[in-house]
Amino acid sequence: MTEAEERQKWVDLNMGPQHPSTHGVLRLKVKLDGEIVKELEPVIGYLHRNAEKICELDYYCDSIIYFDRMDYVAAMNMEVGYLEAAEKLLGIPPPERVQWIRVIMAELSRVASHLVWTGAFGLDLGMLTPFFYAFIEREKILKIFTEVSGSRQEVNYMSIGGVYQDFNEKIVQEINEFCDQFPKKLEDMYDLFTKNDIFISRNKGIGVLPKEVALDYAVTGPMLRASGVPYDVRKAEPYLVYDKVNFDIPVSQKGDNLARFLVRFEEMRQSIKIVKQAISKLPEGPFFNPKAKKSLMIRLRGEGDVYARTESSKGELGVYIVGDGSVKPYRLRVRSPTLRNLSVLRYLAKDQMIADVVAISGTIDLVFGEVDR
C-alpha cells in the first residue's frame, strides 16, 4: 500500500479543548490509524491573554499579579522569576531575610505544583484515589500561603524589593509541622504508584525522550533532567540564596515516563530538604527594601535590558525586560518552560497509542496559563 493510500485510512480525531485529559485547554489534532497516533499537532492559544502586552501597559510593581496568573499552580515560582529580573533592572536588591523567605515559598510552591501534577497524572492513567491524597497535602501548603498572603493560589505575596508580610511565629511553626509530616505521606503516595505493576507497565519505556532531542527542542526542567542532563538553574546560576543551601539534582538516564515521574518525586523530597534548611537559617532583618516603599513603588524607573533565569516547577523560567527609562517596561518577554516542553509532544506522540499519548502529555506537566500566557 502506498503512503497516500495509507493516509486515506487515517481518522482525524480532535482531542480538546474540552477533553478530560488535556489539563485545561490543550487541543490536539490527531490522525489515528486504529488506536495508533500517526500525526499529532497541538493547537494552543485558547487561554491567551497576552500577558506580555498587559505588563507593558502597567507599572513595574503591578505586573506581579499577571505572573501569578501565568502558572497558577506554582504562583510563587513565577513571582520569584519576575522579581529576579525586575529587581536587577530597577537596582533594588532584596534584603537577606526576604531572599530566604522567597526560597521557602518558592520551594513550597514547587511541592504544591508537583502534587497537582501527581494527582492529575494518576487521573490520566485512570487512578482515582491518589488525586485526593495529593490534594490533601497541597491544601496544607495552600493554607500556609493563605496565612502569609491572604490568598490561596494567585498569592501576590512578593513585591519589588520585599514581600507583602513578614513571617511570624505561627507561620514558621506551620511550615515546620508540614515539613515533619509530609515526607511520610509522600512515601505512601510513592508506594501507591510504584508498587503497582500496571502503573509500571504503563510508564516504563513509554515516551522515551533522548537527550539530543530534548536539547534540540529546548526542553528544560524535570523533563530534561529525566533525559539525563543534570541541569538545574538553581545550581548552574544560583539566584536568591540557593548557593547557601544543600540539595541534590535528581537525574535519570532513561528519559521515559517513569523517569519523569521519579525525578519529580525526588524533587519534592529535595524541596522539603531545602525548606527545612532555610527555615532553620532564616535570619532576622527587614522584610522589604526601604528604596521600594509603597509610596515610591510606582515611581521606579528602569533602563537597559535584563534577562533573569529561574528554575520554576516546570522548568527554566526566563524573564527578559527592556526598560526605556520610564515607569513602565518597554518590552517584557517571558520564556515559559511549558511551551517548549509541549512542543516536544509532536515528537513523543508519534506512533504511540492513544492511551500512551494521554500519559505522555500528562508527564509534560502542562499548565495552560503559562503555555498561552
Partner 1 sequence: MNVLLRLANFFSPLTHYIAYILAYFFETLFMLIFITISLVAVIYIFRKYMARLQVRRGPNRVGKFGIFQMIADMMKLVQKESILPKKRDDLPYKVAPVVVMLGLFLGFALMPYGSFYYIGSLTVTHSSVSLVLLIAVIAIMPIGEILAGISSHNKYAMVGALRAVAKDVSFEVPMMITILALVMMASGQTSSPLNIDSIASSSRAFIAYGLVQPIGLGVFMISMIARASYSPFDLGESDSELVSGHSTEYTGMRFGIFYVGLFGSIFLGSMMVSTLYLGAYNGPFSGDVGFIYLVIKTWILVLISFTIWLSMPRIRIDKFVNFGWKYLLPASVINLILAGILTLGWSL
Partner 2 sequence: MISVAEILEETKGKDGRRILKVDKDNFLQLMEELKEQGFDHLSLITAVDWRDRIELVYHLHNMENDNYVVVKSDTLNNVFPSVVHLWTSADWEEREQWDMMGVWFDGHANLRRLFLPESWTGHPLRKNYDLSKVQYINMDDEGNDYATFDPGDGW
Binding-site ranges for partner 2 (CB under 8 A) = 14, 44-45, 48, 50, 52-53, 56, 85, 88-89, 215-218, 229, 231, 236-237, 304-309, 316, 318, 320, 322, 330-331, 333, 335, 339-340, 343, 372
SS (H, E, C) 255-305: CCHHHHHHHHHHHHHHHHHHHHHHHHHCCCCCCECHHHCCCCHHHCCCEEE
Distance CA 342, CA 371 (A): 8
Among 10, 17, 19, 33, binds partner 1 (CB under 8 A): 19
Give the pairing type, strands 158-159 and 316-324. unpaired
Distance CA 235, CA 249 (A): 8
Of 264, 257, 253, nearest in space to 208 by CA: 257
Rg (CA), the chain: 21
Under the binding rule (CB under 8 A), the answer on residue 266 touching partner 1 is no
How many other C-beta atoms can be found within 10 angstroms of the C-beta atom of residue 3?
7
Q: Which is nearer to partner 2, 187 or 324 (CB)?
A: 324
Under the binding rule (CB under 8 A), the answer on residue 24 touching partner 1 is no
User: Which part of the chain contacts partner 1 (CB under 8 A), choosing from 128-136, 242-250, 287-295, 321-329?
Assistant: 128-136
User: Which positions ≥6 away from 96 have C-beta within 8 Å?
Assistant: 241, 283, 285
CB of 28: closest distance to partner 1 in angstroms?
12
Distance CA 178, CA 108 (A): 10
Among 50, 132, 210, 324, binds partner 1 (CB under 8 A): 132
Beta bridge partners of 39: 31
Under the binding rule (CB under 8 A), the answer on residue 127 touching partner 1 is yes
Q: Which is nearer to partner 1, 206 or 233 (CB)?
A: 206
The footprint of partner 1 on residues 165-194 (CB under 8 A) is 192
Of 41, 45, 57, nearest in space to 336 by CA: 45
CB of 367: closest distance to partner 1 in angstroms?
17
Distance CA 356, CA 330 (A): 43
CB of 18: closest distance to partner 1 in angstroms?
9
The footprint of partner 1 on residues 133-152 (CB under 8 A) is 133, 136
Q: Which is nearer to partner 1, 107 or 124 (CB)?
A: 124
Distance CA 299, CA 312 (A): 29
The footprint of partner 1 on residues 277-306 (CB under 8 A) is none
> What residue 329 binds from partner 1, partner 2, none (CB within 5 to 8 A, per partner kind)?
none
3-state helix, strand, coil in the chain (%, to 5): 55, 15, 35
> Site size for partner 1, by CB under 8 A?
30
Under the binding rule (CB under 8 A), the answer on residue 21 touching partner 1 is yes
User: Which part of the chain contacts partner 1 (CB under 8 A), choosing from 125-133, 269-277, 321-329, 337-345?
Assistant: 125-133
Which residues of the chain form contacts with partner 1 (CB under 8 A)? 11, 13, 19-21, 32, 35, 122-129, 131-133, 136, 192, 196, 198-199, 201-202, 353-356, 358
